[in-house]
Copies of this chain bind each other. A is one copy, B any other.
Amino acid sequence: MNKAKVTAPEGVPYVVIERDFDAPKDKVFTAMTRPELVAKWWVGPGYKVRVDKLEARDGGAWKFVQTDEKGQEWSFHGSYHTVSPDMIIQTFEFDGLPEPGHVALEKMTLTEKDGRTRMRVNATYMTQEDRDGMMASGMEGGMQNTYDQLDKVLADMAAMA
């Protein structure tokens, strides 16, 4: 079972995430950039996701809205700086904070070896407090869950190929 390794180094406003996937890079990239596929895996126990916007290109924007069984909604949005199968660079903001403007810069690289793909995300925060707040929010557990769902989407894609 693949598992995400999340590192939050002391004293610098970064989070590093590494995760392997049992699928080639182009499949992982496709699962991350097609709205109908993201809708299947950006989810967790008791909540779904509605992909309001996913313009997977340099200068595009994205907005994902998670919804629970009671109809509560919370959303995330950002802009794409770079989108290629090797590298996605984007901004990321959780829209539920008391004030807007707490934005992260995320750089994701995908590298393939022997048909498997290693994802590496470097997330950079505007303040140490923003980084620590993100870590304290339970993002790590939520992320483990979503990547497990992504594994299933990738398995389905392989079965259909």
Contacts and interface: CB of A to CB of B under 8 A. Distances in A.
Interface of A is mostly: strand
A87 B107 CA distance: 23
- Bin chain A's interface residue count: 20 to 34
Interface in A90-112: 91, 93, 100-101, 103-105, 107
Contacts of A124: 13, 105, 124-126
Contact of A89 (B82, B87, B101): B101
- Among A55, A59, A87, the one with the most B-chain Cβ atoms within 10 Å of its Cβ is A59
26 contacts: A11-B11, A12-B12, A12-B13, A12-B128, A13-B124, A53-B59, A55-B59, A58-B61, A58-B79, A59-B61, A60-B79, A61-B79, A78-B81, A79-B79, A79-B91, A81-B93, A81-B103, A82-B100, A82-B101, A82-B103, A87-B101, A89-B91, A89-B101, A91-B91, A105-B126, A107-B126
